[in-house]
């Protein structure tokens, strides 16, 4: 199946507003009638997924004008990271998108490794893949629970958060914390995989597909859910590409694009999985993509566990003492190890001069990291290409000729995490 | 002979870490982007991001030069820089990460160099997704994109002073605001 197929037309032409692609502007003639009511939706509103503010011009129930105002959660991550050593910076990308922490960490670690030119043991590669897919499911569960909650299906929230908890138990088992694990190091993993992980992860893999079936049983025959999602928030394939959309939003518009498949990283070319694509371009299609992706992720996790169990006893991190912390037990017997440990912890390792752009398929789409190094122990510049930031640019296009109530469904389906939007 | 020889305004093509960088004459960026999109199939813009190279390769950098005392990583007991990095042509680089989203995917980075106060044309007419990226670049670095339909601050408040990601913008130097009676 090719990336772009011209089989279905979601709508004719382009709906991207002009001249500002991200803002719907009210007709001046309507303003003259004095029937337009301008309201602030957010920034503190339970269904804005954080602190998003939408300034909406209403013509009755219909949205006539719309512009998104962001920045309420801006914390200056990129500026802060310029002051920290490379290895301390690894904790930051997790925190910008607190729902897909492990994938963001992966993108940053891959960027450092690209500059360092360091080889990663295969056990680390497969474990990274395994945890990335667990994160994807975690993120999709949070998305499903909150999006359904906003449309009135409150029971979904309790079920998905129960399963999310089981997913976080796996993270806790591997790295001691439930979120923001900092488990990926430049060169591999921070620790070996604990013995009990395989059994617990397999039990989880067995349970998860049934749980997804149950979610679908709750939503797919719920008349309110179907009415509020089908045919709402349309986005055509061409508009989605022009607006830089990626991830589930792009795949729900009929574009068969997934970085794991089309530009594979880690070992994604060695596992078998399908990329779900839907052609309707509405909120319901985005929901379908999320559901199918969870099933595919369980498939990938199962394959990763099979391979990882064969790799018991193998190294989990590269053996480069200039970058990787020496094993703890060596510190008591080896002077060189102690010095290396002290140097890395106090000054950090140096990363060769250069600039790279590394990207991965996060639960929300293309998560990219652009880093510049001047050859010192701190990054010169770090920039995150946040998929949520881009996704919110499509709000205006999706809200063409829509009612105010649809806005909740549309904003939810674009899956913006404000920490990542504002950074 | 590469696929990029016909790109308008091409100054130089460099490659490292498996990535291709095209340095473009800053006055012809829209032409170059249009050529990439229409003739070479780069239909997707991943990212627009500037970098401030003020103090690049100098003392007290690799971190920070904004405070009066500075922070010198080249002092005794530190590794410092193994070598002085290559000089950059101008203060700011604006990087455009384009992607050919097709069965034959390719990424390319376009780079234009600007001095403080120099302007560059907006690529919003080529790729609408550049709208917020360019607003962010203006907000954080103070780079003016000529012809942008709505070049206002995006992350900081409308009346914010300065551009926080510039190297000469101090950390911890933001004004503390109080509301109500003092």
Q: What is the pLDDT of residue A153?
A: 82
Q: For residue B61, is pLDDT > 50?
A: no
Sign, CA dihedral A229-A232-A233-A235, equals positive
Q: Looking at beta carbons, which residues of chain B come within 8 Å of A277? A: none
Res A391 pLDDT > 60: yes
User: What is the overall mean pLDDT for chain A?
Assistant: 88
pLDDT confidence of A369, banded at 50, 70, 90?
very high
Q: Look at residue B58 in the predicted model and tell me its pLDDT.
A: 66
Q: What is the mean pLDDT of residues B92-110?
A: 91
Task: Give the DSSP H/E element, type plus range, for residue A385.
Answer: strand A379-385
Among A76-85, A344-353, A361-370, B55-64, the range scoring the smallest mean pLDDT is: B55-64
Average pLDDT, chain B: 80
Tokens 């928030």 correspond to what residue? A233
> Which residues of chain B have a CB within 8 Å of the CB of A392?
132
User: What mean pLDDT do residues A251-271 have?
Assistant: 90
Is there a contact between A376 and B17 if contact means CB atoms under 8 Å apart? no
Q: Looking at the predicted structure, is the pLDDT value of residue B72 above 80?
A: no
CA A238 to chain centroid: 22
Give the nearest partner residue to B81 out of A16, A21, A374, using CB atoms.
Answer: A374
**pLDDT digit string (tens) for A208-230?**
999 999 999 988 888 888 988 88
**Arithmetic mean of pLDDT, B16-32:** 89
Would you state the pLDDT for residue B82?
60
pLDDT of residue A390: 92
Please report residues of A whose CB lies closer than 8 A to that of B102: 3-4
Hey, are the CB atoms on B165 and A78 less than 8 Å from each other? yes
Check CB contact of A86 with chain B, cutoff 8 Å.
no
pLDDT reading at B78 higher than 50: no
Residues facing A384 on adjacent strands = A369
- Chain B contact for A60, CB < 8 A? no
Q: Is the pLDDT of residue B62 over 50?
A: no
With CB atoms and an 8 Å threshold, state whether B49 touches A370: yes
Å between B128 CA and nearest CA of chain A: 6
- Give the one of B21, B83, B107 whose C-beta lies nearest to A375's C-beta: B83
Burial of B86 (0-12, 13-18, 19+ CB in 10 A): exposed
The pLDDT score that the predictor gives to residue A135 is 93
Lowest mean pLDDT among A283-287, A405-409, B31-35, B79-83: B79-83
Please write down the long-range contacts of B70-73, taking CB distance under 8 Å and 24 or more positions apart: B73/A376, B73/A377, B73/A378
Instruction: Reply yes or no on whether the pLDDT at B51 is more than 60.
Output: yes
pLDDT at A129: 93
**Residue percentage of chain B with pLDDT more than 70:** 79
Q: What's the confidence (pLDDT) of residue B70?
A: 44
Q: Among B129, B136, B139, B159, pick the best mutation site for testing chain A contact (most A Cβ within 10 A).
A: B129
CB contact (8 A) between residue B51 and residue A381:
yes
> What is the DSSP secondary structure assignment for residue B41, as one 8-state letter?
-
Sort A142 into a burial class: Cβ within 10 Å, 0-12 / 13-18 / 19+. Answer: buried
Lowest mean pLDDT: which of A75-79, A236-240, B52-56, B83-87? B83-87
Q: Is the pLDDT assigned to residue A89 strictly greater than 80?
A: yes
Residue B89, min C-alpha distance to chain A (Å): 15
* CB-defined contacts A:B, below 8 A: 145
Confidence band for A82, pLDDT divided at 50, 70 and 90: confident
Residue B79 has pLDDT above 60, yes or no: no
Residue A28 has pLDDT above 70, yes or no: yes
pTM of the shown model? 0.90
The ipTM (two decimal places) reads 0.88
The answer on pLDDT for B160 being more than 90 is no
Whether the predicted pLDDT of B67 surpasses 60: no
* pLDDT score, position B176: 63
Mean pLDDT of A22-41: 79
A48-80: per-residue pLDDT in tens? 677 888 889 888 888 888 888 888 888 888 888
Range in A23-27, A166-170, A278-282 the model is least confident about: A23-27
CB atoms B155 and A422 under 8 Å: yes
Q: From its phi and psi, is residue A285 left (phi > 0), alpha (psi between -120 and 50) or beta?
A: alpha
pLDDT at site A152: 83
pLDDT, residue A294, reads: 92
Which residue among A244, A257, A383 sits closest to B45, beta carbon to beta carbon? Answer: A244
Please report which confidence band the pLDDT of residue B71 belongs to, taking 50, 70 and 90 as the band edges: very low
pLDDT confidence of residue A370 = 94
Taking contacts as CB-CB distances below 8 angstroms, the residues of chain A near B48 are none
pLDDT band at residue A408 under the 50/70/90 scheme: confident
Q: What is the pLDDT of residue B109?
A: 92
Inter-chain contact A385–B46, Cβ cutoff 8 Å? yes
Q: With CA atoms as reference, report the closest residue to B22 among B153, B111, B118.
A: B111
CB A147 within 8 A of CB A46: no
Quick one: pLDDT band at residue B133, thresholds 50, 70, 90? very high
- Closest Cα to residue A90, out of A193, A175, A197? A175
CA of A309 vs chain B CAs: smallest distance (Å): 32
B165 contacts on A by Cβ (under 8 Å): 78-79
pLDDT band at A374 (very low <50, low <70, confident <90, very high): confident
B61 closest CA partner among B73, B76, B51: B73
A370 contacts in B (CB within 8 Å)? Answer: 47, 49, 95, 97
Tens of pLDDT, residue by residue over A107-158, are 999 999 999 988 899 999 999 999 999 999 999 999 999 888 888 888 888 9
Q: What average pLDDT score do residues A332-349 get?
A: 86
Q: How far is A368 from chain B (nearest CA, A)?
A: 8
* Inter-CA distances, A17 with A14, A25, A101, A139, Å: 9, 8, 33, 31
- pLDDT for A48 equals 66
Residue B65 clears pLDDT 80, i.e. is over it: no
Pick from A17-26, B91-100, B167-176: least confident: B167-176
């Amino acid at each position: 199946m090719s990336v772009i197929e011209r089989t279905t037309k979601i709508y004719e032409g382009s709906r991207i507003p002009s001249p500002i692609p991200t803002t719907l502007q009210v007709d001046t003639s309507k303003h003259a009638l004095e029937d337009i009511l301008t309201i602030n939706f957010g920034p503190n509103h339970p269904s804005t997924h954080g602190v998003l503010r939408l300034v909406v011009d209403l013509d009755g129930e219909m949205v006539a004008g719309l512009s998104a105002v962001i920045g309420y959660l801006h914390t200056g991550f990129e500026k802060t990271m310029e002051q920290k050593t490379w290895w301390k910076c690894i904790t930051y990308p997790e925190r910008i998108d607190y729902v897909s922490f492990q994938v963001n960490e992966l993108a940053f670690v891959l960027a450092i490794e690209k500059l360092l030119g360091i080889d990663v043991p295969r056990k680390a590669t497969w474990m990274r893949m395994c945890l990335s897919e667990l994160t994807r499911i975690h993120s999709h569960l949070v998305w499903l629970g909150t999006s359904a909650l906003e449309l009135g299906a409150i029971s979904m929230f309790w079920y998905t958060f129960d399963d999310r908890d089981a997913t976080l138990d796996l993270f806790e088992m591997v790295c001691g914390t439930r979120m923001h694990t900092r488990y990926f190091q430049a060169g591999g993993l921070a620790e070996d995989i604990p013995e009990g992980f395989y059994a617990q992860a397999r039990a989880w893999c067995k349970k998860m597909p049934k749980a997804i079936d149950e979610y679908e049983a709750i939503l797919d025959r719920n008349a309110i859910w179907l009415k509020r999602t089908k045919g709402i928030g349309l986005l055509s394939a061409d508009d989605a590409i022009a607006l830089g959309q990626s991830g589930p939003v792009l795949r729900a518009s009929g574009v068969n694009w997934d970085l794991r498949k089309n530009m594979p990283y880690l070992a994604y070319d060695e596992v078998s999985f399908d990329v779900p694509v839907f052609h309707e371009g509405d909120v319901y299609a985005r929901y379908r993509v999320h559901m199918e992706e969870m099933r595919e992720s369980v498939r990938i996790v199962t394959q990763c566990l099979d391979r990882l169990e064969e790799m018991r006893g193998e190294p989990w991190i590269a053996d480069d003492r200039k970058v990787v912390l020496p094993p703890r037990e060596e510190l008591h017997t080896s002077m060189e190890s102690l010095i290396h440990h002290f140097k890395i912890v106090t000054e950090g390792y140096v990363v060769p001069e250069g600039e790279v752009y590394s990207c991965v398929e996060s639960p929300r789409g293309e998560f990219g990291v652009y880093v510049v190094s001047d050859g010192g122990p701190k990054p010169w510049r770090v920039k995150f290409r946040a998929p949520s930031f881009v996704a919110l640019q499509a709000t205006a296009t999706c809200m063409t000729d829509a009612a105010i109530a649809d806005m909740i469904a549309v904003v939810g389906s674009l899956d913006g995490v404000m920490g990542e939007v504002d950074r | 002979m590469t696929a990029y020889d016909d790109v308008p305004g091409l100054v130089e093509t460099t490659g490292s870490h498996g990535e291709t960088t095209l340095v473009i004459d800053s006055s012809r960026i829209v032409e170059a982007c249009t050529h990439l999109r229409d003739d070479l199939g780069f239909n997707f813009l991943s990212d627009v991001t500037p970098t401030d190279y003020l103090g690049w390769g100098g003392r007290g950098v690799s971190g920070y030069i904004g405070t009066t005392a500075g922070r010198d990583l080249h002092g005794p007991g530190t590794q410092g820089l193994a070598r002085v990095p290559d000089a950059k042509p101008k203060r700011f680089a604006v990087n455009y990460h384009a992607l050919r989203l097709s069965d034959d995917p390719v990424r390319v980075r376009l780079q234009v160099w600007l001095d403080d106060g120099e302007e560059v044309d907006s690529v919003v007419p080529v790729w609408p997704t550049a709208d917020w990226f360019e607003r962010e670049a203006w907000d954080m670095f103070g780079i003016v994109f000529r012809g942008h339909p709505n070049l206002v601050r995006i992350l900081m408040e409308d009346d914010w002073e300065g551009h926080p990601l510039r190297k000469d913008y101090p950390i911890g130097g933001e004004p503390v605001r109080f509301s109500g009676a003092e």
